[in-house]
Structure 1
């Protein structure tokens, strides 16, 4: 049996008639940039997340970049970020000329450690970017308390976490700004790149709408130095079809995660991801000491798995000038040697999941 780590084609096949219909609609009206479908999607996403404003952009990386730009963060400023996450979280900070200040994560939930954040706050600190990694909510209560205490902005990196809940609120509606990605592998994926920023602050929403079109309110009159970062009308049309299904898809992810937990709990060598009712399970990421051997075994049995992420950000060559060294963030560094994401997507069928579990049990039986 072949089991993919992710397969978007199954989801798209079930929605094919509706997707083809909106494609024809956009093809016929020809408003390919910021058309009515974009406005509709922004309204629906604001209602979904619970924020006053939702501003579409070209991708999740730009969502982070534009959020920093909207806050006026730049040279001389510091932004605290986790070392264990996707590159864009820290890369966006460097792109505005600010300094990413790395901190460690906690081993159980893979997310930024609030106490580590507190230790790194200086007079130059302007913001913290907590990541809701793999769909697991960061410790937002503690982080928001720090933000209040030190007058900091909180930019939620919710790229992997649409419909994740923290303290009774959906992520993206807790911090100053929330950043989402609609890359195909995300909880809500389009047919390419797409992103969004959510906020309850009207002043930031207005700046974001200007910054995504080269800093204009009126065409060819530039008040801010912005960039070109817009969600295509066609992508918005596809996302409008998919958004009503998200709650159901997340519930299926949670059911798949629950079955993994039930069946893998007996294997002492596997550390399961932290359990949280608000987790949306964009990934089901375990920790194992013998990761490469397990991954090779699963691959030989037709099972795909993924490593997110093989190298901590503070050790990435591009950040060498910041002076970090091996050993600075031991939890993050250890995770890069142990994490393995198992097949996880709403359309994963019970037979496929049972096969994954059977082969994992077989691997550890052979070890003994």
Structure 2
């Protein structure tokens, strides 16, 4: 048996006729950027999340940049975030000349440990940027309370958690800003790059709306330094199709995850989802010893795996100027050595899950 990790081909086939229709409609319209499809998608995002200030943009990375730019983040500002994530989180901070300040993670959820944030705050701190890793949101009440105490913004990096809930509220609607990604392999993915940024208040929303078009408030009138961060209509049209059945996709991902949990050996450290929240299972990530050997043996059986993420940010060469060293964030470093993601998509069949779990249990 050969397993597909994300099964993007099946995702296409499931809605092929509608995808091809809306794509053809966009091409025939000859209006490719910031048209009716994007406007419809933004309205649909607002309905889905409960956040009335939604903007489609060019990627999840650009969503983070727009939020930081709206806050006027500058050189020597400090943004508290996690070292255990994809580089885009800390990279966007550094791109604006600010300094990423890392805080270690909770060993059960892999999200930032809220109990360690306050000790990292200085007079230069401007915001907290938690990541909703693998599909589950962090302890947002605690994070928001700290932010309120010190008059800080909170930017949720929700690139992996769009559709997840925290105490009944959707990801991207729990903090000052929410930023997500529609990269093809995300739970809600388009056919290229795409993202969205959400704001709590109207002023930030209007500012980011201008900033995604080079700070332009009307043609050739620029009030801000901005960027070319627009979402194109073709991607918006694709996402409008997918969003209609996204609740069902989330349920199917959750069903796959529960089957994994039931069938995997007790010697494997399985994901922990807290009782007051849900996950969209962007990844199903376990922790194991002897990862390289196990990945090799699974690959030989036609089972792909991935490591999200093998090197924490504080140990990446590009962040060496920050002065961190091995041992500074021991939980992140330990998890980076042990995490392994199994195939996860809504289309995994029972026989495939049995094949994956039987092979992994046997190898262990």
Aligned to 2:269: 271
CA distance in 1, matches of 2:335, 2:4: 23
Q: Does 1:225 align with 2:225?
A: yes
- Cα distance, 1:275 vs. partner? 2.5
Correspondence list, 1:200-239, <5 A: 200-239=200-239
- Cα distance, 1:200 vs. partner? 2.5
Aligned to 1:47: 47
| Preserved contact between residue 83 and residue 332 of structure 1 (Cα < 8 Å) | yes
1:110-147 alpha-carbon deviations (Å, 9 max, x no partner):
00011211110111111001111000110111101101
Aligned to 1:289: 289
| Preserved contact between residue 252 and residue 346 of structure 2 (Cα < 8 Å) | yes
Task: Specify the SS of the correspondent of 2:362.
Answer: helix
CA distance in 2, matches of 1:275, 1:311: 24
Task: Specify the SS of the correspondent of 1:131.
Answer: coil
Would you say how many aligned residue pairs link Structure 1 and Structure 2?
Answer: 362
| Preserved contact between residue 43 and residue 54 of structure 1 (Cα < 8 Å) | yes
Aligned to 1:176: 176
- Cα distance, 1:27 vs. partner? 1.1
Task: Specify the SS of the correspondent of 1:327.
Answer: coil
- Cα distance, 1:76 vs. partner? 2.3
Aligned to 2:142: 142
Aligned to 2:26: 26
Q: Where does structure 2 lack aligned partners over 5 or more consecutive residues? A: none
CA distance in 2, matches of 1:158, 1:258: 22
| Preserved contact between residue 175 and residue 200 of structure 2 (Cα < 8 Å) | no
- Cα distance, 1:203 vs. partner? 0.3
**Aligned-CA RMSD value:** 0.9
TM-score by length of 2: 0.98
- Cα distance, 1:315 vs. partner? 0.7
Q: Does 1:353 align with 2:349?
A: no
Aligned to 1:2: 2
CA distance in 2, matches of 1:6, 1:27: 28
1:301-335 alpha-carbon deviations (Å, 9 max, x no partner):
00001000010001111111110001000010111
- Cα distance, 1:189 vs. partner? 0.3
Structure 1 runs, 4 residues or longer, greater than 2 Å off: none
- Cα distance, 1:352 vs. partner? 0.9
Aligned to 1:164: 164
Task: Specify the SS of the correspondent of 1:61.
Answer: helix
1:17-68 alpha-carbon deviations (Å, 9 max, x no partner):
0011111111111110101000000000011010011011100000001100
